[in-house]
Each structure stands twice: as C-alpha cells, then as structure tokens.
Chain A
Amino acid sequence: MIYRDNYFRKELRQAYTENRTSKRRKISSALFLGLFSFALFFVLQTIQESVLADIVPQILQPSFFSTITIYIHIAFIFNTVFFIFYYDYLFFAEIRRNSWYLLIQMGYRPIIMLFSKLSALLYSVFLVYSGGFLFTIFLTIFLKYTLILAYMPTLYLAGLTDIFLISILALTFSLYTQTVVNARYWIFLSAILILILKITLRQYNILSNRVSMQNLYNLFDLSLSPYMAVGFGIMVICCLTCLIRAKNLAKYYSLNSSQFSLPANAAVIYLDSKTGKQILVGNRKSPLWHSKIIATTTTVFLIVFICAALVFNVFVILINTSTPGQEVSIRGVIPFVFRSATMEPEIRLNDLAYFQKIDNQYPVAEGDIILFREDNLVYVERVIEKTGKRLTVDIDKYPPMSQPGAMLKTVPREYVQGIYVGRNRWLGALILFANTIIGRLLLLLVPAILLFYHAQIYGYFKKDKSKG
C-alpha cells in the first residue's frame, strides 16, 4: 500500500489510525444517535403524564416533530462530549504541540492547513448529524405518525446551526487556551452559552411551536428571534479570528512542550541586570493549592452526587412501599404520588403531594384537601362542608362521562389521616421516571458505577491536569 495522505484526509480521520475506521465510526455514530433519540422518545413517553407535558410538550407528542426535536438536542450533546474527549485531535492543540512547525518546515502552508482543518471538522459533524437525522425519520416511520415535511428543513437547519456554532467556538478557543483541561472547560461552557442564548433570544419559542416551524423563514425572522443572526455573526467572527490567530501562532515554535529538567529545589529565572527584577521561567507547574482545589472539588462532587442519588433511591422506595393503610410518614409528612386527575388543578396527575399527618384534635376547615381512609381504601378529597364530627367531601374534577357528585360522601372526622400542605411537580415526574425500568437502572446503576470507579474518575482528572 502506498500512503498518499494529505492534510484534509488526515483531518477527516480524526482520532482514528485508519480512514476506513473513521468512516465506520461516523456512520455508526449517526446510527447510534438516531437510535438513542428514538429510544429516549419511548422513555419520555412513560412520563408523559407529568409536569413535562406542560413544560416541554414538543418532545412528548406522538409525532415526527417530537422524535426529531429530541434528536437535534441529543446530537448537540453528543458533539459537545465528542469534542471534549477528542479535543487533541479535532482542534488547534496541534499548533501548540508544534505539529504545524514540523509540517511548515516540510513545505506545508498554514493557510491551507487552517481551511482544511475547518472544512474537515464541519464536514464530519455535518455527515454524522445528517445521517442521524435521516435515521431518526426512518425509525419514526414505523410508528405510523403523520409525516409532515414542512417542519423538517427548519428543524434540520436549527440543529445543524447549533452544532456548527459549538464546533467553530471550540476551534477558536483552542487557539487561546494553553492547557487541554482549560480547553475542555471552555467547550463545555460554550455549550451552556449556546443554550442560554437560545432561551434568552427566544429561539426555543420558535422551536417548540410546530406551526411556526413549518415556515423556514421564521427561523431568520428577527422579530421572532435574533438567535440565527447572532449565531451566524459569532461564526463569522470566530472564523476570522481563527484565520488571523492560527496564522500568527503557526509562525512560531511553541515553548509549551519544552520544559527544563531541574532539581527539586531549583528554579530558572530571568534576571534583569539593571533592575535586579526576577521573573520565573519554564516549568510553570500549577501551584499545589490549585491541584488540591481540583482534587477536593472532584471528590466532594462525587460524594455529594453518590449520596444524593442513594438518598433519592431510598426516598423512592419508601414512597413506593406506601400502600393504602400503611402510609409512610417522613417527619410527620406523608408524601403521596397522586396518580389521578380528580383534584385538578390543585393537585395534578402524577404530582408528588405532601399531606401533614394530623390527630383528631387538629381543626379541619372547609376547603381543605384531606387524606382519609374508608373501608381500608385511601381517598383524597376536598372538604366542602363540616357538620360537628362529620365532614362532607367531594373531588374537584370528575372525569368526562362520569356522573357528577358520585364521589360526594360524608366521612367521620376520625377517618382523616392527613391534610394537604403542598406538592412538587418535578419530584413527581422524577419518581415516575424512577419507577420505569430505565429510570431504575439509571438511578441505581449510575451511583453504583461512580462508587466503584471513583478512583479511576479521580485519576482521569488528575491525569488531565498533569497533561495540561
């Protein structure tokens, strides 16, 4: 085999030693993204009847719109993670490693390398994103939802813009950051910045609206959202910055990789013979306190996360064991996942409702929502009338086709076990998710894996720091 590589082909290969492997990786990434988004759509369907239905209805509807919306977000997250992991291969870190110095000495032109790198990166993300997009559509066809082509180009373009934006931002940051660790932080922050921009510039208002997404021009309508204009502006500025900065950096040999080997108690300084001023040079290792902060933060984060996940699991188990007649009380409060719409809008379907445990002396007033037990069954209803030791209760909302007043009843005061004090919609959704197979696996497996591999995780951060 004769090797006829050029710089563009090398860039297309990314982190892999063979072009063929890289091509396969791109195809498999696209398929994985499509499949993962499709699977996530089904997982989200299990918590459809929760607060999510009000907050993000666009990802819970039985339509192509939902699967594709999930896909464009998953593709964005995947690319961010991919950039963080393969930073060394994808961006301009090679200039600081003097790889360009070598190539320039061998006759390569920096400007050609710059454009090759940029175009190879954008081409790769475009390929993976487009492949995944088509695969998601293909998978959704099996669900026999109505295919509305009108919003496909708009969704496609919205997702692609985000990915191009993060790619170009990461490329630009790689020219300014000295260490790999800092560059990774910057990529992560860029992703957050893009999400914030989308929210503040009302881009999500367009994305979540199926009607407005049917018109491609709405994406570019400045009166609706200036996000696309701002995004393109940032991309142009970043490309120009890359052009100037990369060309400038490529003129010099970088001393980053050149370290003096010194005894432990020695340092190299520049000494100004006139002023006597001393400047420390070379071996600028991060101070000990800096490493300690990183180590402590990582450890504390891991401990807090593992503990929180374990506590949450215990909480979910307790709530699940709460059966009629054996309600679990935590510090005098009975948490109760409300799996009914009978008390809407006060308590909505799958909300986590809290009932304060009360004794027979507690004054129950008209209008209170109470938890009571009758014939070994637990009911939640509102007090509409109070007559001596007897309470007349009814539900707030009767389901369609049911007879109003069917649940109206009078119960003795001593049946009352708790009084409604509040609810948490998000916790309700989380418990709902925790009770699905995927949720159970995630919430139990993740802390377990973190607990088992905490040393390796800590080691990874430590290694990156030393590399940086």
Chain B
Amino acid sequence: MMNLPEHVVFMEKVQSVEHIVHQGKEPQRVLKEISLLIRRGQVWGFNGSSRLEVKLLLEIIANIRPYNSGRCVLIERGMPQHKRIILNHVFYIGSSEMMYNNMNVLEFLMFVTAKSKINKVELQEQIFEFLIDSGLGHISLTSNNLLTQEEKAVILLTAAAYSNSLIIVFNLPEYEFDEILVPAIAKIAAWISQKGKTIILGTTDCLLIEKACSHTGILFNGKIIYADTVEDFRQKFDKVEVIVSDKNIIAMMDILAILLPDHKLSIKNNRLMISRSGSAESDPGMIYQMITSFGWIPERLEVNPKTVQNAYEELIQQHDL
C-alpha cells in the first residue's frame, strides 16, 4: 500500500450532462461545478436534498456516467473515455440485484471470494467471524432470496471489501438501512479504510454518515455546499448546546430568553433547544448554572451530543433561505 496514490478522487468544476425537468419549468443541470478531493483511506458519505444528485455524483466518480465539463481524476490516472467499462480499481455497487439468489450469505461470500489465495477453511472462518462481529451473524446462513434489498447491499459491500479495488462506491441513496445494518456498514467501512482503501457512500441517512464516515459531502441544488470531516460538520452546524425537557417548557423559554440573551431558543418536539448564536463558543456548564441559579430544576437537561442530522438540517435551512 506504500506506493499507492494519495489522491483517489479529484474533481474540478465537474458539470453533469443530465438535466432535470419539472413539468412546466426550464431544465436545470443536475450537478453544477462540483469540486472535490478524496484521499486514500477516507470514508466519505454523500447526502443531499435530492437522491438524484447524490446518485449521479457517485456514478460519475465510478465512471458509470459521463460528465459534461470540468475535470475528474481517479487515483491520479485520469478518467477513461469509455464509460461503464469495468475498472479494477473501482468497485461500484449501484443496486443489490447483482447478488445470486440461489445460495446463502456465507456461501455467496465464499463463492465470490473463491479466487482469493487464502486457504478456504481459514477464509470461511474469517468471513463467518467478520459477519458475526458486524452484527450480521443472524443472516449468515440465510438464503439470499429471503434477504431485504438493504441486507443484500450490505453483503455486497462485505464482498467488495475482499476485492482488490482501491475505491469502493456504495451508491444506494434510495435504500433505508435499519439499526442493525448501520453499525454493520460502519464496521465494514472501518475495515476497508484500515486496508488503505477508500469507500464512498451515497445515502440520505444522516445516522449512517455519523456512524460510518470520516468525511461527508452535502449537495444542495446541484452544488456541493459542504465537503469536509464529519466531526467538523457536526461541531460547525449543530449549534444546539443544551436540550431541556419540562412540562412548563413555554414559560421556561420566556424566562431563559432573559437569562441567556446571547443564545437562540427554540422548541422542537416539546423540547427546548438552546443554541449558540453566531460562531461564538458556548459552555453547556455555564448554561446549566444559569438555569439552576434561578432556583428552578427542569425535569431533564442534557448536553446535545451533536448529530449529523441536526447539522444537516441546519445547513440545508441556511441554504434554503
């Protein structure tokens, strides 16, 4: 892995050929001036206001669809003229249909990894243990035709992890992964990343990005409005510091508006959200002290864990305005 290129995807002002047409409106280009740099070993999760934008961006990255203008370079080698041609360094998963239904999960994984030079007995043990570690042990001997399309997709990702491809593109923004599959994807993604490979996920699930990705890219109206680390994204855009729950939440909000003039207060799902305003740093401990000094103890007060979901909503809201 020492001689591998550092920059695995480089995009500069890439524009899609595809336009979207809404009834009675002018055609709009789906992707506009996309610039992006993805490095080796990173785990990227792309989300956006439209699944089409996410799907198309990842298809362009994987050389599945052509682009209109701009520059796109894969692992510092450029981009082939022939689209959809199989590239050894890119493993693209665009649907779960590629799975064979007439075998079970473990058998399928053994079948697709049959060309691997690892001893078959060891390989089977390794795959089986990996499935158990990923929380997929319960489906390891299930027939593939009984799996959901999301489960199939995760098994395909496991297979991709065993390939020699440097970039794995998991482009399924239309799929909804449950609480069992999200940690499984996170586990597989971490393993892929450990091997020095890059994984790019297309999803509309913020939790998946939070659990599995080191980096995220957010698309809005065909443009990338954010592309950096997940941690930075959460800290920067999820401005809620403290969440307060109480029966008299509205009365409490009026009082806190006076006590915390530098903070923004809002009620969401019967919970009071106390956010910092602007980019100023805020201390949750200080907020707690302010509330208790008033002699009033709320039923529940928690420090916001900073989620990708909140950050995403905040970012989209900013751009929607």
Contact = CB atoms under 8 A, between A and B. Distances in A.
Contacts of A265: 22-23
Interface in A71-107: 89, 94, 97-99, 101-107
Given A5-B111, A102-B112, A17 B55 contact: no
Contacts of B104: 17
A5 B110 contact: yes
B111 A270 contact: no
A108 B113 CA distance: 9
A269 B21 CA distance: 7
Interface string A259-271: 0111101111111
Nearest to A11: B102
Contacts of B116: 107
Contacts of A13: 102-103
Contacts of B86: 101, 104-105, 250-253
B102 A99 contact: no
B223 interface: no
Contacts of B160: 105
Given A16-B102, A17-B143, A99-B99, A253 B115 contact: no
Interface in A236-272: 250-255, 257-258, 260-263, 265-271
B5 interface: no
B97 A252 contact: no
B30 A268 contact: yes
A257 B112 contact: no
Interface stretch (B88-96, B205-213, B251-259, B304-312): B88-96
A89 B85 contact: no
B170 to A, nearest CB: 13
A4 interface: yes
A14 B94 contact: no
A278 interface: yes
A146 to B, nearest CB: 45
Contacts, number: 142
B112 A106 contact: yes
A106 B114 CA distance: 8
Most buried by B among A104, A253, A267: A253
A174 to B, nearest CB: 15
B103 A17 contact: yes
A131 to B, nearest CB: 22
B18 A103 contact: no
Contacts of B162: 106
A6 B98 CA distance: 17
Interface in B1-35: 17-23, 27, 29-30
Given A258-B64, A263-B22, A268-B18, A5 B103 contact: yes
Nearest to A108: B115
A29 to B, nearest CB: 17
B121 interface: yes
A254 B114 CA distance: 23
B162 to A, nearest CB: 7
A10 interface: yes
A281 interface: yes
Given A101-B86, A253-B84, A255-B64, A270 B17 contact: yes
A105 B20 CA distance: 32
A89 B100 CA distance: 9
A100 B64 CA distance: 16
Interface string B98-134: 1110111011001111111000110010000000000
A3 interface: yes
B102 A15 contact: yes
Most buried by A among B22, B86, B116: B86
B234 interface: no
Interface string B54-91: 01100100101100100000000000000011101001
A14 B101 CA distance: 10
A3 B112 contact: no
A149 interface: no
A437 interface: no
Contacts of B85: 251-253
Main secondary structure of the interface of A (DSSP, over half): loop
A106 B84 contact: no
A2 interface: yes
A268 B102 contact: no
B21 A266 contact: yes
Contact of A103 (B29, B112, B143): B112
A253 B52 contact: no
A282 B160 CA distance: 26
B159 interface: yes
Contact of A98 (B65, B98, B102): B98
Nearest to A5: B111
B174 interface: yes
A260 to B, nearest CB: 5
Contacts of A255: 64-65, 84
A228 to B, nearest CB: 35
A465 to B, nearest CB: 17
B157 to A, nearest CB: 11
Contacts of A278: 19, 21, 27
Contact of B124 (A3, A16, A104): A3
B106 A89 contact: no
Nearest to B95: A257
A10 B27 contact: no
Contacts of A273: 68
Contact of B52 (A103, A108, A260, A269): A260
A277 to B, nearest CB: 12
A406 to B, nearest CB: 71
B163 interface: yes
Contacts of B159: 102, 106
Interface of B: 17-23, 27, 29-30, 51-52, 55-56, 59, 62, 64-65, 68, 84-86, 88, 91-92, 94-95, 97-100, 102-104, 106-107, 110-116, 120-121, 124, 143, 145, 156, 159-160, 162-165, 173-174
> What are the 9 tightest A-B residue pairs by CB atom distance, in nearest-first order?
A107-B115, A3-B110, A98-B98, A257-B95, A265-B23, A252-B84, A258-B94, A3-B107, A97-B97
Interface of A: 2-6, 10, 13-17, 89, 94, 97-99, 101-108, 250-255, 257-258, 260-263, 265-271, 273, 278, 281-282
Given A13-B103, A253-B84, 9 more contacts: A3-B111, A10-B111, A15-B102, A16-B102, A101-B92, A105-B165, A106-B113, A255-B84, A257-B97
